[in-house]
Structure 1
Amino acid sequence: MNPVRPVSPAPPSGGGGSCRVLQRVAVVGAGAAGLCAARHILSRPGSFAPPVVFELSDNIGGTWCYDERTGPLPDGRPVLSSMYRDLRTNLPKEVMMFPDFPFDPQLSSFLPHQEVQRYLDRYCENFHIRTHIRFNTEVRQVRPVVTTTEGEERTVTWEVTSSDSSGGQETETFDSVLVCSGHYSDPHLPHIPGLERFKGKVLHSHSYKFADPFSGQTVVVLGAKASGLDISMELARAGAKVVLSHRDPPLRVPLPPGIQQTSSVVAVSEDGRLRLQDGSEVQADVLMFCTGYNFKYPFLEAAQLGLEVQDHVVSPLYRFMVPPAFPNLFFIGICKIICPFPNFNCQVQFALAVLDGSVTLPPREQMEEEVRQEQQKKLEQGVQRRHLLKMDRGQWEYCDTLARSAGFPPLLPVVRSLYEEVWRQRQVQPENYRKNNYRIVSATQWELIH
């Protein structure tokens, strides 16, 4: 079977002219990853036509666009953002920024979410992206169309079917698609036997907006990763009694009064009490799931693309982006435990280098084998399958590899250095590390500002 090839830009046409066919790229989502994709497509007018960015909501920013509403909206669409009112970033702006677009240096290092939204607004304005975004437009289907040339080479284009707020539907053809729809909008709710017997309120952190309504209540927070810990501290400050329930070893970080750690909730007893892994039981007013989010791509037929989409894993993806069977479709920003904006910036530039021919991908079979070997190595190291997309310390070598392959500037070493310092501070002082302010001094050095 012949491999499927991306459609490459045509070479300059006869007589020494410089006319060439520009590739049309569809971008799904106008959050940070989608804006980054649009910005870099627009910077390459010799290879790409201006992008078409499809955005389901009426604004840019994705999860950074705070919406106090919960549940389905009047038009039946879900609230996409998982932002809560008092969230502040857990990474400093010096690390968080797109490498080519700094935050306002007057701002403190750890920002309220409103400042990140303002930053994305400025990014959008600076790079003239907004006119290329179709707001209130749902992508209904992204379908590959494979054709065979006379030379028996198979090429693929993409039919993208979308509908606008009036219900009008349109199908257009693109040379490639960048999926930038995020993965923080479809709550993951693990099965808990007997949950229907729980007499209190059940919600996911996706629907949590602020702590005030929980004052005086006993809240069991299930999950102790970043959002679970952050929300627990907010609830405790507001006067709630918080039971932080998780399956990991007890956190060694100093927790404020009002937070008690326990083992994980495993069932709900006949009388409505929450039964824990250690056999004890807890009476609670609220059970809040801080259990992460599912990958969900209703506009893609995964099996047709040679992909398996599970709650926490999309596979196989070469370089965590490319389905080997369709090397002109890219998933941007699906990795976890990363420095997001710099990661998106590297992935997008690699994707465009593939599309413009600067980077040649290996054959399908080789890409699939590389993914299989990488996953097998992680599994043998004890990584659970649902954590295969967590990068953590591997993110730096990954971004460096993309930069070397595609010939764009790598992330500065100071980004990693400061990221890891903040990670250490979070373990030592989870309540107060955001009071620190930093300044980048050089490509390799940062300093703490008092």
Structure 2
Amino acid sequence: MGFSVSDFPFVVRSDSRDPRSFPSHGEVLAYLQDFAKEFEIEEMIRFETTVVRVAPAKEESGNGGFESTEKEKKVGRDEIYDALVVCNGHYTEPLLAEIPGISSWPGKEMHSHNYRIPEPFKDLVVVRIGNAASAEDISRDIARAAKEVHVASGSNAADTYIKQAAPWLSFIGIAWKVVPFPMFELQSNWIAGALSGRITLPSEEDMMVEIETLYATHEAQGIPKRYTHHLGITQFEYKNWLASQFGCSGTEEWRKETYLTTGVRKRRIGKSSLCFSSLPRFLFV
């Protein structure tokens, strides 16, 4: 499985589990639960807790850091932390397509963010808009119950940044079109190294030059700024650079080959034309 982290490989742990190289979302969830149990991560998580506010700590509080107001089961709590790592990724808020006339359409519209099980789609005609990984996974899942599943796609289908002026703030998982878990692992190790002082940050001037160079390169190639964190094939160079910073081996060749081969197979499918025998009753975006 290409998404597993280095020290916890994907292994089928019971006969009821999914052994495929491209498993179901249920198997991915089970893997994460196994990982949390193996390394006793759940003991360090505050469940049912909302972070209401985060702000740089006041100067009189000491050496930087962040103030946090949290709410756990309606009980408020103020905390001060040495560092803040934001790990909500880029899938928090669903983005629905603006389709003229959709309000008068008699069917239903749903974002993949809200998908859970295929049974509600039994005997329905479903249109899937998009061609990313979650779209393909959901299509296969829904096909077991739906009458028809149609695909509409218009295309084939330094992100860890700690500013010198705010070395206590960092983000994980902003990059997209990547193999996620191995990247998260490398980013986490790099951030831990930077916060502990084992990895020395470049000067703010050098980082700004690198960012400006990246933007200029994208502009020359006609790449819009919203694709700044789109990595695709360049993810492997990025991951290898992260790994080299703390003396870890880079991306295994089989992971890269799996990613590239899967991409080739997707491009062979190409665009799908829509020709409905009946009016679709469900639209996925």
Calculate the TM-score normalised by the size of structure 1: 0.53
Offset, 1:215: 4.3
1:15 maps to none
The reply on whether 1:379 has 2:213 as its aligned counterpart is no
1:115 counterpart letter in structure 2: E
The reply on whether 1:340 has 2:180 as its aligned counterpart is yes
After the TM superposition, list the runs of 4 or more consecutive aligned residues in structure 1 that deviate by more than 6 angstroms: none
**Aligned residues, how many?**
263
Greater mean deviation of Cα atoms: 346-355 or 115-124: 115-124
Offset, 1:237: 5.0
Give CA-to-partner distance per residue, 1:318-352, whole Å, 9 cap, x none. x2122524222111111111111110111011101
Greater mean deviation of Cα atoms: 233-242 or 115-124: 233-242
The reply on whether 1:98 has 2:5 as its aligned counterpart is yes
Higher relative contact order (CA 8 A, sep 6+): 2
Are residues 413 and 225 of structure 1, via their aligned partners in 2, closer, same or farther at CA, if it must alter by over 3 Å? closer
Higher strand share: 1
Runs of at least 5 residues in structure 2 that lack an aligned partner in the other structure? 14-18, 271-285
Cα distance in 2 for partners of 1:137, 1:126 equals: 23
Offset, 1:425: 3.9
Calculate the TM-score normalised by the size of structure 2: 0.81
Are residues 208 and 323 of structure 1, via their aligned partners in 2, closer, same or farther at CA, if it must alter by over 3 Å? same
Higher helix share: 2
Contact 1:99 1:342 in 2 (8 A): yes
Give CA-to-partner distance per residue, 1:27-78, whole Å, 9 cap, x none. xxxxxxxxxxxxxxxxxxxxxxxxxxxxxxxxxxxxxxxxxxxxxxxxxxxx
The reply on whether 1:321 has 2:229 as its aligned counterpart is no
Cα distance in 2 for partners of 1:401, 1:102 equals: 22
Are residues 229 and 339 of structure 1, via their aligned partners in 2, closer, same or farther at CA, if it must alter by over 3 Å? closer
Give CA-to-partner distance per residue, 1:410-429, whole Å, 9 cap, x none. 23233222332333344457
2:102 counterpart letter in structure 1: L
1:112 maps to 24
Offset, 1:388: 1.9
Contact 1:146 1:155 in 2 (8 A): no
Cα distance in 2 for partners of 1:201, 1:122 equals: 36
How much identity, in percent, do the aligned residues show? 32
Cα distance in 1 for partners of 2:149, 2:35 equals: 39
The reply on whether 1:141 has 2:53 as its aligned counterpart is yes
Runs of at least 5 residues in structure 1 that lack an aligned partner in the other structure? 1-92, 149-153, 252-318, 431-450
Offset, 1:178: 1.1
Task: Describe the SS at the equivalent of 1:366.
Answer: helix
Contact 1:99 1:411 in 2 (8 A): no
The reply on whether 1:156 has 2:68 as its aligned counterpart is no
Q: CA RMSD in A?
A: 2.7
1:33-432 matches, within 5 Å, as 93=1, 95-104=2-11, 107-145=19-57, 147=59, 155-165=63-73, 167-236=74-143, 238-248=145-155, 319-324=158-163, 325-428=165-268
1:210 counterpart letter in structure 2: I
Cα distance in 2 for partners of 1:423, 1:209 equals: 25
Cα distance in 2 for partners of 1:197, 1:418 equals: 43
Task: Describe the SS at the equivalent of 1:350.
Answer: helix
1:195 counterpart letter in structure 2: I
1:159 counterpart letter in structure 2: E
Cα distance in 2 for partners of 1:123, 1:333 equals: 18
Task: Describe the SS at the equivalent of 2:187.
Answer: helix
